């Protein structure tokens, strides 16, 4: 799969994860999450995960959220700024805003690492 196809697939699964989260379809939400992680691992293993920064301005807030969460280890300040921006949309997008706040909290507590320390 080409790098653009990987990013396109990542984007599609991030969007699906958000869509199915909003309607409460746990099976489809979990499937989208599993696919998202497979694609992320492929991006990391090919050292092309920086391409996720291109999704920071996507039209879908869940895509922005996932991209920011998965780039915390690459550029922490930039990712935190994006997550904070999403977190501040509390009234307009309560679920994605809450997810952004909990992502920041988890990161600050030392969780959410997806890359090995030798990468």
Percent of the chain at pLDDT exceeding 70: 94
Please write the tens of the pLDDT for every residue from 3-42.
Answer: 679 999 999 999 999 999 999 999 999 999 999 999 999 9
Please write the tens of the pLDDT for every residue from 31-71.
Answer: 999 999 999 999 999 999 999 999 999 999 999 999 999 99
Domain ranges of the chain: 3-108
- Give the torsion sign (CA, 77, 114, 1, 30): negative
The angle at the Cα of 118, spanning 50 to 115, to the nearest 5 degrees, equals 50
The angle at the Cα of 7, spanning 110 to 48, to the nearest 5 degrees, equals 65
Specify the pTM.
0.90
3-108 in CATH: which number? 1.25.40.70
Give the alpha-carbon dihedral of 91, 88, 99, 50, to 10 degrees: 140
> Across all residues in the chain, what is the average pLDDT?
92
Task: Using the CB atoms, write b or e for 68-99: b if 16+ within 10 Å.
Answer: bbbbbbeeeeebbebbeebbeeeeebeebbeb
């Amino acid at each position: 799969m080409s790098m653009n196809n990987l990013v396109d697939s990542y984007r599609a699964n991030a969007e699906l994860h958000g869509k199915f989260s909003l309607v409460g379809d746990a099976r489809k939400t979990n499937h989208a999450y599993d696919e998202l992680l497979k694609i992320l691992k492929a991006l990391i293993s090919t050292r092309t995960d920086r391409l996720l920064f291109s999704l920071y301005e996507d039209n879908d807030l869940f895509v922005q959220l996932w991209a920011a969460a998965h780039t915390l280890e690459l550029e922490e300040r930039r990712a935190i700024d994006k997550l904070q921006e999403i977190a501040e949309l509390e009234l307009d997008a309560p679920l994605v805003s809450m997810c952004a706040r909990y992502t920041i909290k988890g990161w600050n507590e030392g969780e959410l690492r997806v890359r090995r320390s030798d990468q």
